[in-house]
Structure 1
Amino acid sequence: MSASAEAQAAPARKRSVVRSLLRLWPYVRPVRARVFGAAAVAVAGSSMSLVMPLVLKWIVDGPVSDGDEAGVWLGGALLLGVGLFEAGLFGLRRWLVARPLAGVEAAMRSELYRHVQRLPVTFHDRWPTGQLLSRGTGDLQLLRQFLAFGLTFLIVNSTTILIGFGVLLVQDWTLGLVLIAPVVPLIALSWVFESRFSVVARRAQDQMGDLTTVVEESILGIRIIKGFGRHRSQAEAFRVLSHRLMDTELHKARLLAAIWLVIASLPELFLGAALVLGVDRVADGDLTAGTLVAFMTTAMALRWPVESIGFLLALTNESAAATDRFFEVLDEPVPAEPAGGARLPAAPAAPGRGAPAGDGIRFTDVVFRYPDSPPGSPPVLDGVNLHVAPGETMALVGGTGSGKTTLVTLLPRLHEVTSGRITLDGTDIAGLSRHEVRRHVAMAFEEPTLFSASVAENVLMGAAEADRDDLARALRTSQSEGFVRALPEGEDTQVGEQGLSLSGGQRQRLALARAVVGRPRFLVLDDPLSALDVHTEARVEAALRDVLATTTALVVAHRPSTVQLADRVALLSGGRIAAVGTHAELLHTNAEYRHLMTGRHAEQPEVSAR
């Protein structure tokens, strides 16, 4: 099941909104004083709206009844002062929460980003990019809105309603009971609304993630879309997802409209009943006009806290769904690192030679199966045994789908072996941290990835300690010096997203430069010259020989020209190393290798290798 499908299935499981939102507490705890202080200030500000009816009662039953004009002016000034004080308190609330909650959002986004960076490659193989983007942007913005507004006013409005109903009962308990009567049915309706809205809210957020994925893929693949004239089909796919999201949002709107209608209309009916009953009692002399005015003004002041319940419930449910989506990523386990911070011992010097000494790279009974592969399926690699001697360059050859790329990605621990062991100069990489392994192992992929940065920044990413001299050497080795010099700002030219302003061969050469810039102890090249023309390839190979002479390298090769870089060749077939030897030896002795390199079958005449 895809990540999107898993996410959309999640609402079917029973979920507690409160339990979900409580998971935000570790992020809120550092700023809890200002958050709860803001809530207390907001409660005080909201309570001012309940003080005004008491001032009105005094004005009506006092200065108005007595014809005291000065008293009326005093009462008006008092109402103005209460109103200004209330506005000041709400302004103070905003000031208290704005900065700390922006910091909470930033902290959550940073932690999500760091966690995603640490997750294994298998996680990224399963999760659509758009789902991760929507969780790191829209969902976190929604959570900040909830913490800054929704949570505060859930506390404020609930407190205001409780205080307000207490004031109503104190003023006149008979009329107060009339207004309290709809509370029980409103609670029941709110519970039904919450259970339905939570499912729809989660579905909308997941569909937004799917839509983001389509947009992201369409932008990155715009050349393919235009080249094959597929803009209409892509537009149709976007339209379908967009309409699906629109239908879900309309469903949300209908649910919200229904609960808002009930919450707004039901109290109004009982408010009207209380008004009729109150006027009748004033006419009978059982109630003063000031008390009725104060009672009705208090009831009107409670309209917004009561009517906002529907909106706050919707925001709470959307925030709980956003919290679940955030923690779905954060709960993904990061593979454990070995304790102790072991380091790879320094390579012993080889007397009289430039090549390193040591034990080189050794694969021993390595078995690998993808974690999400079906139970009982055969492993991709099944008992690989291979030794690359120190200073040796080993070419890895095999048919399409034989597992060559999978094997070389085990070396920098982009994937973890299912069983067996891999050693670097005699040290098991399972006992080293990934950071330590990757300090010594550099890799260039067949599909090069460049970032929205300068040429220099992209290449120097290969080694934190590299300087401009190392950069120049790496550019010369990869034969990138000429075209880089011709760029508008040379090494400081921004290459743009994915480096698409450059040709495929140029991107591949810069990726190769990134791999060699730090003079790595071990070098892994996954068919690094496939996008180059034969002349450029020959020049790169000539320059690369000097680098390979001082490192231990494993090179995935598909072409004889790349194989010629290697001292020996290993043939990967059926998940195992089927043969090891020089290029010439394997051409003469191994039919499968001969077929891969020349296209000739076993019964065809052999060719001599030179």
Structure 2
Amino acid sequence: MQISDLPYADPGVPDARSGPRFLLWLGRNQISGQARSFAWGLLHFASVMALPFAVGSAVQAVVDRSGGRLALSGVLLVLSGVAIALGDTMLHRTAVTNWITAAARVQQLLARKTAQLGSALTRRVAAGEVVAVSTGDVEKIGWFVEALSRFLAAAMTVVLTCVALALYQPALAVVVAIGVPVLALGVLPLLPKATQLADVQREKAGRATELAADTVAGLRVLRGIGGEELFLTRYREASQEVRKAAVRSARMWSVISAVQVLLPGLLLVAVVWYGIGLVRDGRIQIGELVTVYSAVMLMTYPLRHFEEIAMAYSFSRPSARRAARVLSIERATDGSGELDDAKAEGDLYDPVTGLLAPAGRLTAVVCGDPDEAGRLAERLGGHPALDEPVASVRLGGIPLDELPLAAARAAVLVQDKDPVLLSGTLSELLDVPASGQVGAEEALAAAECADVLDALTQAAIDDDPMQAPITERGRSLSGGQRQRLALARSLVTDPEVLVLDEPTSAVDSHTEARISEGLRKLRQGRTTVVLTSSPLLLDRAERVVLVHEGEVAAVGLHRELVHSEPRYRAIVTRETEAEQEAYIQQTYEETEESA
């Protein structure tokens, strides 16, 4: 896989049972890239380790006054230099390719999972954690994948060098054979503590990122209630905890680095001290001592990759664990009974609450608890919460979870109470999968977006509001304007079933009245469910359902329920308990008089 071939046509099905399994799965999917990187790395490191033999041979040739061996040593040095440059260049190229392609695979997997779960994802995983996984964690995972092949090449080079030294000069090879394992394994006792500190740092950094994302997302509300200073103080404290954790982790890694400098230095001292004695006794030649000394000195280069792979794994392990946790989230059922040819149409029925939304009619649902309304909207879209009973909503008698995801998405569209607008132009915002029966102008008119179009015209090219830029999340617009544009986008889609959660909570009553009339006319003959407590929307509904404590408590028209159902009236009119009792007493007295 090359960078030019990205994105992947199919990133595959990840093994998300744990972080290490996920890393192993990534490695298995990059066998060819890892093999190329290993081969170039082996050429590079082996060429580096060939330099001591060439230098030692040249020194001995000078001592022996052999011009032929000196020339041969020079040729070997030139060839080693060329091989070092070529191997290093290609190793860097292939290793970075492994890094980028692995990161791209993870990002595609996360994007696919986000598309599958939609807004239900943030109900199961904090939004800040999703941001942390898709940014910093992806980089750490890619780092480990990139470092793995270089480490394997370095380890193989160390083994081959030790074997070559044993054959070249057995007397000094004894010192090397004892010292090299100490160099490679000397830092192992320190790694568990370093890994633990790195995990703590990553965990604190993840929490700080979550807090920052949540604070930015709710900044407008925080400013409205004067709470931004409180949250900024919390973020400062979280940021300081990250800094302290990073300092503690860096201290441990600096100790590891110091040990990896100290141990090779001690080994070099031992080699020189022992080698000088062997030269004095005439057991080895000066050129052989130079060769072994240079080899031990240069061996610290590939041995440094032992520290890097340990550091890369310690940082990537918690990142892989978080990525695996997000990627392991699935729909409420496994969809093993998918009905490929079934046509999703008919009445919408929720077996958990008993809610029935007849086909082709506008049904309004009143919930006393806003959180309950949000959970009901998610369930109607086929995404029940994890702590809810797994009972799939049925559309025309067919469970949504047994439909292919694309078919379920096309049949039922849920608009949250806080919909997101992506950056781009208004034309791009409304360029969504749609039936083609509702045009952009009709949808904008039904959502009462005339004033929004006027505002966008001022920033548009050639006074065309459809080409006006919309900033990320629509931050340049007011809450009511964002809500109406989101409603227009949903109306353009024109699904078989449209579920709207408080679609007019941020607009004034006059605009709300016009929107309710436009919604009723545009969705004529289509199934629409509106979760709201607005009397204006409720009065336009063909069927009103009261959901109380998780069950359907009453069904009728708005004007009927206001008089016959005290719980409904309390929610819609915001009555106090005293007003409810007075109303009940008045109704009782009127009934007695008429009798």
Pairwise TM-score range, normalised by the shorter structure? 0.7 to 0.9
Q: Write out aligned runs for 1:180-579 (5 A).
A: 180-183=177-180, 185-186=182-183, 189-227=186-224, 230=227, 232-335=229-332, 336-343=334-341, 345=343, 360-363=347-350, 366-367=351-352, 384-401=353-370, 403-415=372-384, 418=389, 422-461=393-432, 463-466=433-436, 470-487=439-456, 488-489=459-460, 490-579=465-554
> Who is 1:165 aligned against?
162
Q: TM-score, normalised by structure 1?
A: 0.82
> Who is 1:16 aligned against?
none
Structure 2 CA distance for partners of 1:440 and 1:250, relative to 1, 3 Å? same
Residue 89 (structure 2) pairs with residue 110 (structure 1): no
Residue 55 (structure 2) pairs with residue 56 (structure 1): yes
Provide the rounded CA distance (Å) in 2 between the counterparts of 1:74 and 1:427.
81
Query: What is the total number of aligned residue pairs between the two structures?
Result: 557
Q: TM-score, normalised by structure 2?
A: 0.84
Structure 2 CA distance for partners of 1:458 and 1:84, relative to 1, 3 Å? same
Residue 44 (structure 2) pairs with residue 45 (structure 1): yes
CA displacement 1:358-402 (0-9 Å, x = unmatched): x53344xx33xxxxxxxxxxxxxxxx3344334332322242358
Provide the rounded CA distance (Å) in 2 between the counterparts of 1:98 and 1:246.
29
> Who is 1:32 aligned against?
31
Structure 2 CA distance for partners of 1:562 and 1:182, relative to 1, 3 Å? same
Structure 2 CA distance for partners of 1:99 and 1:429, relative to 1, 3 Å? closer
| Cα offset, 1:28, TM superposition | 4.1
| Cα offset, 1:449, TM superposition | 2.4
Structure 2 CA distance for partners of 1:57 and 1:405, relative to 1, 3 Å? closer
CA displacement 1:332-369 (0-9 Å, x = unmatched): 3344225343455486xxxxxxxxxxx53344xx33xx
Structure 2 CA distance for partners of 1:294 and 1:398, relative to 1, 3 Å? closer
> Who is 1:15 aligned against?
none
SS in 1 for 2:469: coil
| Cα offset, 1:110, TM superposition | 0.4
Provide the rounded CA distance (Å) in 2 between the counterparts of 1:420 and 1:294.
74
8 Å Cα contact 2:95/2:149 also seen in 1: no
8 Å Cα contact 1:343/1:436 also seen in 2: no
Letter in 2 for 1:603: A
CA displacement 1:227-282 (0-9 Å, x = unmatched): 55555444432222222222222222222222222232133223212212222232
Tell which deviates more after alignment, 417-426 or 132-141: 417-426
> Who is 1:4 aligned against?
none
> Who is 2:175 aligned against?
178
CA displacement 1:288-316 (0-9 Å, x = unmatched): 11121222122222122234433332223
Structure 2 CA distance for partners of 1:116 and 1:597, relative to 1, 3 Å? closer
CA displacement 1:491-547 (0-9 Å, x = unmatched): 222221221211122122122212222333333232322222122122222322312
Letter in 1 for 2:582: E
Query: Identity percentage over the alignment?
Result: 24
| Cα offset, 1:100, TM superposition | 4.8
> Who is 1:603 aligned against?
582
5+ residue gaps, structure 1, are 1-18, 348-358, 368-383
Structure 2 CA distance for partners of 1:58 and 1:449, relative to 1, 3 Å? closer
> Who is 1:379 aligned against?
none
Provide the rounded CA distance (Å) in 2 between the counterparts of 1:103 and 1:405.
38
Structure 2 CA distance for partners of 1:560 and 1:133, relative to 1, 3 Å? closer
Letter in 2 for 1:38: S
> Who is 1:65 aligned against?
64
Letter in 2 for 1:403: E
8 Å Cα contact 2:117/2:383 also seen in 1: no
Provide the rounded CA distance (Å) in 2 between the counterparts of 1:35 and 1:346.
46
Tell which deviates more after alignment, 164-173 or 597-606: 597-606
Structure 2 CA distance for partners of 1:464 and 1:592, relative to 1, 3 Å? closer
Structure 2 CA distance for partners of 1:583 and 1:195, relative to 1, 3 Å? same
8 Å Cα contact 1:338/1:430 also seen in 2: no
8 Å Cα contact 2:362/2:520 also seen in 1: no
Higher helix share: 2
> Who is 2:567 aligned against?
592
8 Å Cα contact 2:348/2:359 also seen in 1: yes
SS in 1 for 2:547: strand
Structure 2 CA distance for partners of 1:500 and 1:536, relative to 1, 3 Å? same
Tell which deviates more after alignment, 219-228 or 68-77: 68-77
Provide the rounded CA distance (Å) in 2 between the counterparts of 1:188 and 1:88.
30
8 Å Cα contact 1:402/1:572 also seen in 2: no
8 Å Cα contact 2:133/2:322 also seen in 1: yes
Letter in 1 for 2:237: V
8 Å Cα contact 1:55/1:79 also seen in 2: yes
CA displacement 1:454-473 (0-9 Å, x = unmatched): 22333343x43438x61111
8 Å Cα contact 1:404/1:556 also seen in 2: yes
Letter in 2 for 1:435: A
8 Å Cα contact 1:470/1:518 also seen in 2: no
Provide the rounded CA distance (Å) in 2 between the counterparts of 1:237 and 1:30.
41
Letter in 1 for 2:347: G
SS in 2 for 1:532: coil
SS in 1 for 2:540: coil
